[in-house]
Amino acid sequence: MKIKISGHHVEITEGIKQSIENKFAKISKHYPSLMEIDSKITVEPNQQKLEVTTLYEGAKVTVNASDKQLYKAIAKVTKKLQSALAHRKGQLSAKFNNKFVVQQTDLYQAAQ
């Protein structure tokens, strides 16, 4: 899986890069069809924001998280991404489990 990390008003250090890669490596084990994750870190006064975007099974999945500490924001966005991917996976499996609705015919209604 390819992880793109970009920063806005922040320098991407080796520690930040390693932390993001470690968190997303766990997600890639559960969702092996993920090919690429784009993450953007933005630093504002007293706020660290992280936006993650990926393409999963034909749908764009985007999650955001913010915190005063960057590593907490990384943990939050990882948790949100995992739940968003699980939701998307549930939507896909629900399409396979559609129940057929049997319509009553006029003959059946007349017999009653």
Q: What is the pLDDT of residues 5-15, one digit of tens each?
A: 999 888 999 99
pLDDT at position 106 is: 59
Q: What is the CATH number of the domain that holds 47?
A: 3.30.160.100
Segment 96-109 shows an average pLDDT of 61
Q: Are strands 2-8 and 36-44 parallel, antiparallel or unpaired?
A: parallel
- In 1-112, the DSSP E strands lie at 2-8, 36-44, 47-56, 59-67
The pTM of this model reads 0.76
Please give the residue that has the higher pLDDT: either 104 or 46: 46
pLDDT in tens, 22-74: 999 888 888 888 889 999 999 988 899 999 999 988 889 999 999 999 999 99
Does 103 or 107 have the greater pLDDT score? 103
Residue type, 72: K
Instruction: Give the residue numbers spanning the domain of 29.
Output: 2-111
Domain count, the chain: 1
pLDDT at 77: 95
Unique residue bearing structure tokens 């993920």: 34
